[in-house]
Structure 1
Amino acid sequence: MPARQRGSTVRRGKTWAARYRDAEGVQRLRGGFGSKTDARAWLDSRVDDVEALRRGDVAALRRRSLPTLAELVDEFTAQHVAEPSTIASLEFRLRYALEGPKLDGNAGWRDVTIDRLNATEIGAWRKALPGRSAFGIHKCLRQVLHYAVRAKLIDENPAALVPNPEPKRVEVKTFTIDELELAAAELSPTFRAVPVFAALTGLRPCEWMALERADVDRQAGVVTVRRTVVEGVVKPYGKTERSLRAVPLPARAAQALDEHPTRLDTRVLFPGARGAPQALSPWRHREWNPALRAAGLEHRSVYALRHTYASLSIAAGVSLFELSRLMGTSPAMLDKTYGHLLPDALDRARSALDVFIANAAEAAEGGG
């Protein structure tokens, strides 16, 4: 690699000019500087750029014109691979960083270059965020600034220096079987089987909405989860995804499907008016919320059906490992969400091991 050039400054009448060679070795001249100092400062900057290009260090050039936080957010979301609903949620949360904790344009960093963000200001911003949303909002900002670190735009992530404690766990709201029946009675006939079916299979709303009749094997007592609905668009699960799975179909859930009207113009198990799968948001407003009100039940989200499945399974003695496979999630996530429902887990594990060891000992003695 050639030695680093210095370039030169020359006086041209009443002004100064700077001369250097670009990355291809072509001589360049820039004049019109009011002083030799100005010419040298500009020249040093250009020489640094040339050296960075010769090294292939594009990041060094980018650091010379760092983006604002708004520009970084646009760049990050444009390259981030995720479902449209996830991107929309990410963009909404990042508005708190761009527009301020109250989304009023005050105390936001929209036009601030990312090198000017610091942990002290981010800490004060974190305290002013809405209580239960603060953890997720801060996490999104940290994610974006981590991208800037990986792109070598900044050396350190200032958001990672600020503590981001998770909110205290709230009680998971579930349904009793009687409440499921009450809610079902208030739904349209097309969706009357949903409360019992969803609460006894543990499927996510986006999963049971995408089910087709062929996914339900009545003889084997199994429901196969193959696809999901994202904003009304059906997407298949990949072969290696945890969510691609088979779950048992309990007798009561099968009974609910037996009473479920079948439409011959669509393969979808719970179709909308035109036969296609429903999108969650309009279904929630048109069917779910009115049904709960009509049944005189306390409001609970549609996801409470999935929570009901988890709580019933844990009460029945299903282990978190088994349950994680049935629900298409990780044991760690289940433990975080439902671990408090396992107060007697140690006793059950101890008793199970004692019985197993005792039976093994008896079998060994009998064989001897």
Structure 2
Amino acid sequence: MSKAWIEDLWLTEPRETLPDGSKVKIPVPSSVTKSLAAYMKTPEKAKVPGKFKTARYGHGKRWRVSWWATLPDGSKKRSSKAFSTRADAESFAAAMEDDIRSGRYVDPADADRPFQAVALEWLASKNNLRGRSYLRYENDMTRYVLPKWGDRPIGSIQESEVSGWVHELQSGTAPHEFKRKTTMQPMKRRTIKGVVKDAFGGVMAYASSPKRRWILSNPAADVELPQDAETDDRVFLSHQQVADIAEAAARVDVKNPMVSKLLILFLAYTGLRANEALALRIGDLDFTRMRISVTKTITADRQGREIEGKPKSGRNRIVPIPGFLTADLEQVCDGRTDDDYLFTALHGGMIHLNTWRTRVWYPAKEGAGYGDVKGLRIHSLRHTYASFAIGAGCDVKTLQSIMGHASATETLNTYAELWPDRIDEVAAVMEAKYQQWEAQRRE
């Protein structure tokens, strides 16, 4: 049996019993097929004897292509698709057999799945995704992806269409759905990557995985993203600038000045992420060994509620305490228990980063005279620590460990240009070693 075959759903070959009792099929006469061909739009006018008519004669599409295919799990599945003309059925059957033989087969029923249904299934499968990451995917899906692709069959989405969508996102003209604001702003490359490659691309990669093969390939995989005019938005502060912002924070936060000032200094001279610092308990500081144990961070669950979770990349780490911060840190810890948060709000309890950013950070950088510094964020204090550490001679692996990067490659990709150029130094040492060897050889 061929892998794909065509059936006539209107005409049939009836069986007749011969005098000897055997049964034979009676072929449909050519006169019948010609008459029906002449009256396809009004088949009731065709001269077709009743014995050659099927139960669905004259109703629906006439031709059906059926085929057997091997599914990703190794099982066999029979599928079919109806066509109005024989030519369309033959063309489809030939293409289907070619796909089956070449391994490009995709079940049309799977390719017709609505993107939104697949997206919901993909989101539900992300069991290991951190709450904040899940919320980012969910928000990008709701705001940008589903308004564009929600009702589309996943198999109909082409790479050229995705490329066009990238241009729409970049120009701020893409379909979107916001709960509050109504105007969409042009997107930068980083945001486009999150929407196109991570959210949309994640769904399409899920659909095209060997386990499912609902579509042949991910149409977002090879789509190129635009380059921003300015790709480096990192800010590295000087010691004086850090001190200026810390002092300004103390002036802004009149009811809790020491904590806000110390928090800024702490972030700039330990390299912790802000939410890692806010999750610290007093017991995480070891003043004997001058070490900080970073084992948690403030994150969010899938409902957006703040909770404590593992640090980014899921790894605990040890960070040194700068000696010049010891006195202030000990003063903050004095008279409190190991289970208390290190940095607390005025009436105790955890500091909420978003609130502190609005209430203290923004006014402090304005008050220090740095409000016009493009890209200056709380995270800039972490970048600043990296620049201080590299300037002090810190190597890549040590900085990776302190910063909590997943790999040394991430550290180099982020801060490679901060390490000093030692070409001349290396050349000079090689020259000295060679001359030393040459002198020994001549002795």
Classify the TM-score, shorter chain.
0.7 to 0.9
CA-to-aligned-CA distance 1:266-322 (integer Å, 9 cap, x gap): 511012356443332222122222222233333621111100101111111212222
Relative distance call for 1:37 and 1:109 in structure 2 (3 A) is closer
For residue 195 of structure 2, what is the aligned residue in structure 1? 137
What letter matches 2:202 in structure 1? Q
Relative distance call for 1:183 and 1:236 in structure 2 (3 A) is same
For residue 67 of structure 1, what is the aligned residue in structure 2? 113
Distance in 1 of aligned mates of 2:238 and 2:222: 44
Correspondent of 2:244 among 178, 182, 185: 182
Partner SS state of residue 67, structure 1: coil
Is the counterpart of residue 155 in structure 1 residue 216 in structure 2?
yes
Is the counterpart of residue 318 in structure 1 residue 394 in structure 2?
yes
Kept in 2: contact 1:243–1:327 (CA 8 A): no
**114-123 or 178-187, which deviates more:** 178-187
Correspondent of 1:293 among 366, 386, 395: 366
Relative distance call for 1:318 and 1:110 in structure 2 (3 A) is same
Once the two structures are TM-superposed, the CA of residue 195 in structure 1 deviates from its matched residue by 1.1
Partner SS state of residue 215, structure 2: coil
After superposition, residues 1-368 of structure 1 pair within 5 angstroms as: 33-35=56-58, 38=61, 41=64, 56=75, 63-64=109-110, 66-80=112-126, 81-94=128-141, 95-99=143-147, 108-129=148-169, 130-132=187-189, 133-140=191-198, 141-150=200-209, 151-164=212-225, 167=228, 169-185=231-247, 186=249, 187=253, 188=256, 189-231=258-300, 232-236=306-310, 243-260=315-332, 262=334, 264=336, 267-272=340-345, 275-298=348-371, 300-329=376-405, 330-347=407-424
**Normalising to structure 2: TM-score of the pair?**
0.63
Distance in 2 of aligned mates of 1:248 and 1:340: 24
Partner SS state of residue 308, structure 2: strand
CA-to-aligned-CA distance 1:89-119 (integer Å, 9 cap, x gap): 12233332322xxxxxxxx122111111101
Distance in 1 of aligned mates of 2:427 and 2:158: 51
Partner SS state of residue 332, structure 2: coil
How many pairs are equivalent? 330
Distance in 1 of aligned mates of 2:149 and 2:73: 34
Q: What percent identity do the matched residue pairs reach?
A: 24
Distance in 1 of aligned mates of 2:287 and 2:421: 34
Distance in 2 of aligned mates of 1:221 and 1:249: 5
What letter matches 1:177 in structure 2? H
Distance in 2 of aligned mates of 1:221 and 1:172: 29
Distance in 1 of aligned mates of 2:233 and 2:415: 9
- Where do 5+ consecutive residues of structure 1 fail to align? 12-30, 100-107
Computing the radius of gyration from Cα coordinates, the structure with the larger value is 2
For residue 101 of structure 2, what is the aligned residue in structure 1? none
- Where do 5+ consecutive residues of structure 2 fail to align? 11-53, 78-104, 170-186, 301-305
Aligned-residue Cα RMSD (Å) equals 3.9
